[in-house]
């Protein structure tokens, strides 16, 4: 397992180990999952999603021009992570869902 995948798995395990309420952006996550249920992280998807990240200031301190090549390089790993975590979540609900 890559370092990035291990960090993702550790984060999900940490979340599952807590009894936290549903996330503030829970409805957004559900909406985005429905828009991209198979984790098809294409450059077209990125160009549509980047403005959302910018509004949240989630991209600081990087510019959009700096992030695009990083996304392109990581898109396959992101899709793999989606399959590992999000597809499994359909079987075992957890992160971002109400109990």
pTM of the model: 0.61
Residues 6+ apart with CB under 8 A from 13: none
Residue 14's pLDDT is 81
- CA pair distance 64, 57, nearest whole angstrom: 12
Greater confidence (93 vs 18) lies with 18
Across the chain, what does the average pLDDT equal? 79
Closest CA to 78 of 27, 30, 42, 31: 42
CA atoms within 13 A on the CB side of 15: 18
Residue 3's pLDDT is 76
Residues 6+ apart with CB under 8 A from 27: none
Greater confidence (58 vs 66) lies with 66
């Amino acid at each position: 397992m890559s370092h990035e995948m291990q960090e993702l798995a550790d984060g999900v395990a940490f979340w599952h180990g807590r009894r936290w309420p549903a996330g503030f952006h829970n409805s957004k996550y559900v909406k985005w999952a429905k828009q991209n249920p198979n984790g098809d992280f294409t450059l077209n998807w990125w160009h549509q999603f980047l403005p959302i990240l910018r509004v949240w200031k989630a991209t600081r301190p990087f510019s959009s021009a700096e992030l695009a090549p990083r996304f392109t390089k990581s898109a396959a790993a992101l899709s793999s992570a989606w399959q590992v975590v999000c597809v499994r979540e359909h079987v075992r609900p957890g992160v971002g869902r109400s109990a």
